[in-house]
């Protein structure tokens, strides 16, 4: 998270990026942590059930993008929308 500030008139006001996305390092899903994750382990590079250190994939495949294409998966679609908003605000 970047922090900094801007001058408004003669006053210096502190500002920071308020968008925070929680990501699970077990299943690579959003809006929960690995501590309370009930999903199977998922590699962030190829989305198969192994750790990233064991991955031999040459092509990257995002499990969240794959899940977001399902019409019924609103949690992942909301996370993708939030991620797009964060990237737009950083430009």
Q: Which residues pair with 3 in a beta bridge?
A: 16
Q: How many CA atoms lie within 13 A of 78 on its CB side?
A: 8
CA–CA dist 49, 26 (Å, integer): 10
Is residue 1's pLDDT more than 50? Answer: no
pTM of structure: 0.49
Render 52-78 in DSSP notation, one character per residue.
GGG---SS---HHHHHHTSTT-HHHHH
pLDDT tens digits for range 29-78: 888 899 999 988 888 888 888 888 888 988 877 776 776 665 556 666 67
């Amino acid at each position: 998270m970047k922090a900094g500030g801007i001058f408004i008139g003669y006053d210096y006001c502190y500002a920071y990026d308020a968008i925070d996305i929680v990501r699970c390092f077990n299943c690579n899903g959003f809006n929960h942590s690995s501590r309370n994750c009930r999903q199977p382990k998922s590699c962030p590079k190829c989305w198969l059930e192994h750790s990233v250190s064991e991955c031999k994939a040459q092509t990257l495949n995002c499990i969240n993008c794959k899940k977001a294409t399902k019409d019924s998966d609103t949690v992942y679609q909301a996370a993708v929308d939030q991620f797009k908003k964060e990237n737009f605000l950083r430009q």
